[in-house]
Amino acid sequence: MSNIFYFVEHYVPKRLFSLELASEQQMELLQAVQDGKRYFVIRAPRKGGKTILVAIVVVWVTLKDQTYRFFIVSGSEAQAKWLYDYCKAILWPGGPQFAERREFFKTFLRREPRATITEYKQGGWIMYTAATSKQVNAPTSDGQAMDEYVLIPSQIVQEAWPMNRSSTKPMRLLLSTATDGKENTDTFLDLLEDCEPGKPLHKEGWLKIEWESKDSPHLNTETARGDARSAKYFLSEDMFNTQYTGGLPRRAGRVFPRTFIREMFKALDPENPGFLVDGTPYDTENLVFRGEGKAGVDWGFDHDTVFIEGYRGLGGKIAVMKMVIGNGTSPSDWADQAEKDTLAHNIDQWFADASGAFQNQEIRLRGIRVTPRAFQRRVYGKEWMVGVAYYWMSKRMVSVPDTPEFATLKRQLLKWKRGSDGKIKKGDDHGCDGFICFLSGWDPRYYELATEPIKQSGGEATGRANDWDGFNSGDRAWMPENWRDEQTLRKEIWEK
């Protein structure tokens, strides 16, 4: 029992799982469990073998340590029962051919596995219950399996999570198909991202295991491929991609990855006042724009109006320096604010929501350059602005102070999502709209970082203009050389 591969080969019925038909990623998971890894996020297609694989892990862990308590949670009682029934089928296989194996496991079990719980003589157990607040708040466990994570209500996840916090040997397995549009789809995708090497969960010991149908031999038989071809006629492209292929939903989810947002916001440097931790100068009492200044505007006809202002420095990094949020859309009041900030921070151009035509014109009348952004346009519209913002954020070229002034922007960016139709959801997004208007001022096509220094154009006149050998900084540097010895030509007008 000390080796999980030996256990699978000799004690798991071949009709449930076979090492010969296991994918490379499934073998990787088994090896990680054998090596003592305890935290897993698993993504696979429907019927890809993830539930039976987790059942094998649950049974092996509890047999190895028969004081271990494992709790199963799922989006529905039926789904949780499905995983539990796999555990029962391993520990108490049916049929006369498995009579000897039942007798063997009987020496460890208090009784034959019951409908919702299997108990070991040494005190361990495997159990599941309905996904209700009352049920998940009761048990104290060591291990926890959350099956079809995207279907589990967020409240149940929150309430079930602490049940094994007091364990000295906790284990968690979160498994799901990345079904589009479910309550926890976005959260599950974030978890997968955060389990990548170098990311927060990976640093805490979490391991991401993913496989697709092409990786699973049992899904690549002629019969299985024929069924998949038929499924294309009945399922939407996204459903086929997630359920049959095992891919990620392409259109739903956050507009910007949480990683981009988290890395973009920089805290104040406690050891270097007046700077952010990435070295960006930022003094709340004395804002200084150290480069090409621009601003973005979202007019608040149904919400607050937002100004976002900043600059692009010599190193190419875009620094957000100021965010103004206020009620109303008074053209004169907001034009006063724009004029004040333009003069104070040398802002070159304002990129403003085109729906505020009167407001934009009032700012123009102050002699300020305003470029309207029509969100609904296909060219230079909202999706284009999102693309520009995504480009700079992905390059880690945007810095925003992680201070209370920008808390609204951070909150809105983290919850900014697309619907299942691929369109960005509206509501509580005025900071996001102002932000993408601001970044749209730096079209990446015109702001590529040059790897070669710009060469000065040649020519005789240019050569003379840049010849510093005869440079003279005296008070008569302007005087032609042939005047220098002519006193009459050098006299001041009042001299005789």
- Reply yes or no on whether the pLDDT at 267 is more than 80: yes
Domain 4-250 classification at class level: alpha beta
In the three-class reduction of DSSP (H, G, I as helix; E, B as strand; rest coil), residue 265 is classed as strand
Q: Where in the chain is the domain with CATH 3.40.50.300?
A: 4-250
Question: Which one, of 268, 352, 271, lies nearest residue 309 by Cα?
Answer: 352
Backbone angles phi, psi at 266, to 5 degrees: -115, 130
Work out the mean pLDDT of the chain and round it to a whole number: 88
* pLDDT for the residue 477: 58
- Reply yes or no on whether the pLDDT at 27 is more than 90: yes
Cα–Cα distance measured from residue 72 to residue 64, given in angstroms and rounded to the nearest whole number: 18
Q: Tell how far CA 435 is from the center of its chain.
A: 17
219-233, 255-269, 460-474: lowest mean pLDDT where?
A: 460-474
Cα–Cα distance measured from residue 303 to residue 209, given in angstroms and rounded to the nearest whole number: 43
* pLDDT for the residue 137: 79
* pLDDT for the residue 133: 80
Cα–Cα distance measured from residue 323 to residue 406, given in angstroms and rounded to the nearest whole number: 7
Q: For residue 387, give the DSSP letter.
A: H
Cα–Cα distance measured from residue 111 to residue 102, given in angstroms and rounded to the nearest whole number: 11
Q: pLDDT band at 399, cuts 50/70/90? A: very high
Tens digits of per-residue pLDDT, 151-200?
Answer: 998 889 989 999 999 999 999 999 999 887 787 887 888 888 889 888 88
Question: Which one, of 71, 466, 459, 418, lies nearest residue 253 by Cα?
Answer: 418
- Reply yes or no on whether the pLDDT at 150 is more than 60: yes
- Reply yes or no on whether the pLDDT at 444 is more than 80: yes
* pLDDT for the residue 472: 57
Q: pLDDT band at 388, cuts 50/70/90? A: very high
Q: Tell how far CA 162 is from the center of its chain.
A: 25
Cα-atom radius of gyration of the chain, to the nearest Å? 33
* pLDDT for the residue 214: 92
Of all residues in the chain, the percent with pLDDT exceeding 70 is 89
Tens digits of per-residue pLDDT, 302-318?
Answer: 788 999 999 999 889 99
* pLDDT for the residue 463: 46
Of all residues in the chain, the percent with pLDDT exceeding 90 is 67
- Does 205 or 489 have the greater pLDDT score? 205
* pLDDT for the residue 469: 56
In the three-class reduction of DSSP (H, G, I as helix; E, B as strand; rest coil), residue 489 is classed as helix
Q: Confirm if 431 and 409 have CB atoms less than 8 A apart.
A: yes
* pLDDT for the residue 439: 97
- Give the dihedral of Cα atoms 266, 272, 278, 279; nearest 10 deg: 130
- Reply yes or no on whether the pLDDT at 496 is more than 70: no
* pLDDT for the residue 455: 43
Q: What integer is the mean pLDDT of 407-417?
A: 91
In the three-class reduction of DSSP (H, G, I as helix; E, B as strand; rest coil), residue 410 is classed as helix
User: In terms of pTM, does the model score above 0.85?
Assistant: no
In the three-class reduction of DSSP (H, G, I as helix; E, B as strand; rest coil), residue 230 is classed as helix
- Reply yes or no on whether the pLDDT at 336 is more than 90: yes
Q: What integer is the mean pLDDT of 210-217?
A: 93
The angle, 0 to 180 degrees and rounded to 10, between the axes of the packed helices 50-64 and 24-34 is 20
Q: What integer is the mean pLDDT of 309-328?
A: 94
Cα–Cα distance measured from residue 221 to residue 410, given in angstroms and rounded to the nearest whole number: 48
Q: Tell how far CA 407 is from the center of its chain.
A: 18
Contacts of 43 (CB under 8 A, 6+ apart): 50, 175, 176, 177, 178, 188, 192, 208, 209, 210, 211, 246
One-letter identity of residue 322: K
SS3 content of the chain, % helix, strand, coil (to 5): 40, 15, 40
Q: pLDDT band at 344, cuts 50/70/90? A: very high
Q: pLDDT band at 252, cuts 50/70/90? A: low
Q: Where in the chain is the domain with CATH 3.30.420.240?
A: 258-446
Q: What integer is the mean pLDDT of 329-334?
A: 89
* pLDDT for the residue 471: 55
Q: pLDDT band at 459, cuts 50/70/90? A: very low
Question: Which one, of 107, 67, 117, 65, lies nearest residue 87 by Cα?
Answer: 117
127-141, 235-249, 457-471: lowest mean pLDDT where?
A: 457-471
Task: Identify the CATH number of the domain defined by range 258-446.
Answer: 3.30.420.240
- Reply yes or no on whether the pLDDT at 99 is more than 90: yes
Element (H, E) at 430: helix 430-439
Q: What integer is the mean pLDDT of 417-446?
A: 89
* pLDDT for the residue 427: 85
